[in-house]
Amino acid sequence: MAPVAQRVRGTQDLLPADRPYWDLMERAASETAGRAGYQRIETPVFEASELFKRSAGEGSDVVSKEMYSFTDRGGRSLSLRPEGTAPIVRAYFDGGLDQEPQPARLYYVGPFFRYDRPQAGRYRQFHQFGIEAIGEVHALLDVEAIQVGWEWFRRLGVGDLALKLNSIGDEVCRPAYREMLRDYYRPHLADLSEDSRLRFEKNPLRLFDSKDPEDQPYKERAPRIVDHLCAPCAEAFQIVQAGLRAEGISFELDPTLVRGLDYYTRTVFEFQHGSLSGAQNALGGGGRYDGLAAELGYRATPGIGFALGLERTLLILRQLGESAVEGPDVYAVALQPADQAYAGRLASSLRARGLRVVLDPGEARLDARLRKAARRGARVAVIIGPDERARGEAVIRDMRLKTQATVPEGEIVAAVTRTLGEI
Ligand code: HAM
């Protein structure tokens, strides 16, 4: 009989083998963000569709093609969140965080949803670690945000990281630049890809996002926004670059970096990794969004943040080859069913000392069970047979040295800890 249902396309199960990597990533998130004063926030996984439509821009793929939207029984249009920034800006005002000392420094770890064609590093449900600092316009906060992201990767041991940096100006300087870009592209429209012709109409900055080969020569010769920033934007961009240099964070200026969401102003950045392929090479990205709050109908309030993809980072951690899966400290084996209760009691007392103890439930031959202990990565085996039970003893086996000794019950904890310590 075939199973009645399959795992939904683009979703993944988080199996125990990967759990240690996730624990590492989550711990690194709370520690790096926490140490810089960021506090955890959680918002619902669904929101009014309008929130995302207004924030990301109708021209962005994330909203126009990739949203999981549905009408609930009350006739409201809701969407599974494709990203975290707009919900957090909403929560910042809803929760009165705008009344507290500014900026509000917030971080989050959780699932997001985009209906895109699944492939390695691209899923329909994926997870992000993100931070948002809302309520302060100073460019030093941009440096702080980038530094938190950089530190997260460093802690996880992810090297070979390229930080791409750009400024895309603000409502003062961007409109003139946008027209300049249209003027530049207009004579070449017939030679551009179809997608690019659409972008020309909707949002010419997104012409830089094109991966189509026929568009590339035009991209390279296009006017660069960094050469056309207004004075405050140019000054902010200098502060960001000087701040990053002072922190020892290397970056590459990339005048074609525009990002896929329309709410950005001034600083935008991306963390890219050499080993990930083309379109999926961004491990994360972010930027400033000083116009977003007003766009959502709130008092104009600046913000800056990023989101880093956990699934893509997991691909790198796995490539690093180091297994994050730790075996148990102790694998306890009772030779006969009558020995199980005694073995169970010993296991409990070892667990009470903070050790990870796995109790073998079977009745297979001892050598087969010791092979199982080795495969699980156990460092010590505790073996109980009828003799040990009768005399109140246990055999403590060092799984790596393959040596063992019989010790009385009162000394088992000390013997196990000693053996663990010697490894
Ligand atoms: P984003 O660039 O759309 O930015 O997403 C950030 C990261 O989430 C990506 O670099 C990638 O690692 C991961 N990601 C996105 N889509 C998928 C997918 N379909 N499958 C797997 N991973 C994915 C944002 O979401 C902004 N909210 C970032 C931000 C925060 N900007 C300011 N504050």
Closest ligand 1 atom, residue 289 Cα = 32
Q: Looking at the predicted structure, is the pLDDT value of residue 342 above 80?
A: yes
Most confident region among 93-107, 305-319, 339-353 by mean pLDDT: 93-107
For residue 281, the model assigns a pLDDT of 81
Tell me, in angstroms, the distance from the centre of ligand 1 to residue 342's CA.
52
Per-residue pLDDT, averaged over 213-242, amounts to 94
- Per residue in 401-412, is it b (16+ CB within 10 Å) or e — as a string? eeebeebeeeeb
Q: What is the rounded average pLDDT for all residues in the chain?
A: 92
Nearest CA to ligand 1 atom 20: 122
CA 343 distance to own-chain centroid: 41
Q: Looking at the predicted structure, is the pLDDT value of residue 52 above 90?
A: yes
Residue closest to 109 by CA, chosen among 210, 172, 31, 209: 31
Percentage of the chain beyond pLDDT 70 is: 96
Q: Looking at the predicted structure, is the pLDDT value of residue 324 above 60?
A: no
DSSP per residue over 306-340, as a string? EEEEHHHHHHHHHHT-----PPPSEEEEESSGGGH
pLDDT band at 58 (very low <50, low <70, confident <90, very high): low
* Rounded CA separation 89/86 (Å): 5
Query: Which residues, in sequence order, are bridge partners of residue 270?
Result: 164, 285
Does any ligand 1 atom lie closer than 6 A to the CB of residue 123?
Answer: yes
For residue 278, the model assigns a pLDDT of 64
For residue 268, the model assigns a pLDDT of 98
* Rounded CA separation 65/202 (Å): 15
* Rounded CA separation 110/345 (Å): 39
pLDDT band at 323 (very low <50, low <70, confident <90, very high): low
Closest ligand 1 atom, residue 121 Cα = 21
CA distances from residue 40 to 7, 101, 199, 229 in whole angstroms, order as listed: 31, 16, 37, 35
Does any ligand 1 atom lie closer than 6 A to the CB of residue 122?
Answer: yes
- Pick the more confident residue, 77 or 363: 77
Residue range 366-388, pLDDT digits in tens: 999 999 998 888 999 999 999 99
The percent of the chain in helix, strand and coil, each rounded to the nearest 5, is 45, 20, 35
DSSP state for residue 111 in the 8-state scheme: E
Q: Looking at the predicted structure, is the pLDDT value of residue 423 above 60?
A: no
Alpha helical stretches, state H, 252-385: 292-295, 310-319, 340-352, 366-375
